[in-house]
Structure formats: C-alpha cells, structure tokens
Amino acid sequence: MAMDNGSKRPVYEAIKVAELPEDVRQPRKGPRTDPKLRHALDTAKAEPGAWFCIGQYVAENGAKTKEKAIAAKKIKLPDGRWEMTTRVVERPDGSRGSNLYAKFVG
C-alpha cells in the first residue's frame, strides 16, 4: 500500500484486503479537561456569585457548542455548582461572535 505520495491529499487506490484491520484508536475514559477553560473557571470560583466571561469565540455558535458539551458532561468542571449562559456579541471590527459566561454558585 502506497501511503505517501508527496502530497497532503489522500491516496486513492483500490486494494483488496482479506479482512479489515483493527481500529487502533482508544476510547476516551471520562470527560476531557481544558486547561485554559479550567484556569478561567478557577478565577471565577474565587468570587462566588459574580458573572465572568470565561470564553470568547469567533463563531456565533461557538459558546453555545461549548455550553452543550459541558452540559453533556464531556468537559470536566471544577467541583461545585455552576450557572452558565451564552451571548452573541458584536466585535469592535463589526463581526459577530459569542461569549460564554459562568457564575460559581457553591
């Protein structure tokens, strides 16, 4: 099987195989951690009851996507109870993006 054709494009070649090879990817064990998000949440945790903007996203749905991943427990948060919300915002350059806000409740 030729894997490197000197290009980043995929190699298309019909090669008959007796059986499919084993998939070497390992399943994720538990929720993932995001160090930058974790740092922002630790900062917010220091002042319970105050809202903090913990993430700014270029895409309008970026913050909502992250909020959904957190709600689905795909991303680990520091211990305690958190309130989260998102807002679509207009950037100084006129483009629109989104922000993720968090408040540590206790």
Confidence of residue 69 (pLDDT cuts 50, 70, 90): very high
* In the chain, % of residues over pLDDT 90: 58
Beta bridge pairs of residue 102: 52, 84
Chain length of the chain: 106
Burial (0-12, 13-18, 19+ Cβ within 10 Å), 33: exposed
pLDDT, position 14: 83
Distances in Å between the Cα of 48 and the Cα atoms of 9, 37, 61, 86, 105 are 50, 17, 27, 19, 6
How many domains does the chain fold into?
A: 1
Answer whether residue 41 is part of any domain. Answer: yes
pLDDT, position 5: 59
Q: Are 67 and 32 in contact (CB under 8 A)?
A: no
Answer whether residue 5 is part of any domain. Answer: no
The pTM assigned to this predicted structure is 0.70
Answer whether residue 14 is part of any domain. Answer: no
> Does residue 9 surpass a pLDDT of 90?
no
Answer whether residue 8 is part of any domain. Answer: no
> Does residue 31 surpass a pLDDT of 80?
no
Instruction: List the domain range (segments joined by +) for residue 96.
Output: 35-104
